[in-house]
Each structure stands twice: as structure tokens, then as C-alpha cells.
Amino acid sequence: MNKLEGIIETYINGNITIAKKQFRYLGIDKVQIIECAESFGIRRTIKILKDLGLSDMYIINSFHDFDRGNIDKAKEILLNNFY
């Protein structure tokens, strides 16, 4: 499990304040975003990352670089605020 997955799991378990504090000190790697999307689902992962303060462009770029098969779905979720 990567660090970002741990933070997302903390968020899902209801410890939102702790997750936000941990997120501030984590250097986000784009591959970690893709791994989280595979573990938790694209929509749920994007929703949590947006709540934690990650930008749309960073999320889209991670799909562009490492998971082009799902980039259209990620863009649709972000552009239409379906998260």
C-alpha cells in the first residue's frame, strides 16, 4: 500500500482532519493516483483527492501519463463535477 492509499483509507474511515493533515506533508506521485483509482475506483478517488485539495490538472495529467484508457472517464468526472 502506498502512502496516498493509506491517507485515502483514513479519509474513508471518517478521519477527515487527520487525512488532510497527512496529505499536506505528502509528496504526491502521479503513479500513486492511478494505483488509488485501481484500488478505490476512479470516482471515489477523484472525489477524495479534490476534497484534499489536489488540482484537476494534476489528476488529469496522472491519467494522461499512466492510464490513458481511463482518461476520458476521469475528465468527464472532473468536468461535470460527478465526484
For the chain, domain boundaries: 3-79
User: Among 26-35, 39-48, 74-83, which is the least confidently predicted range?
Assistant: 74-83
pLDDT of residue 82: 76
pLDDT of residue 54: 95
Residue 39 backbone dihedrals phi, psi, to 5 degrees: -80, -45
Alpha carbons 17 and 74: distance in angstroms, whole number: 26
**Average pLDDT over the chain, rounded to whole?**
95
Burial pattern 52-75, b for ≥16 Cβ within 10 A else e, equals bebeeeebbebbeebbeeebebbe
Angle, helix 16-24 to helix 3-12, in steps of 10 degrees: 160
Contacts 24+ apart (CB under 8 A), 78-81: 78/46, 78/50
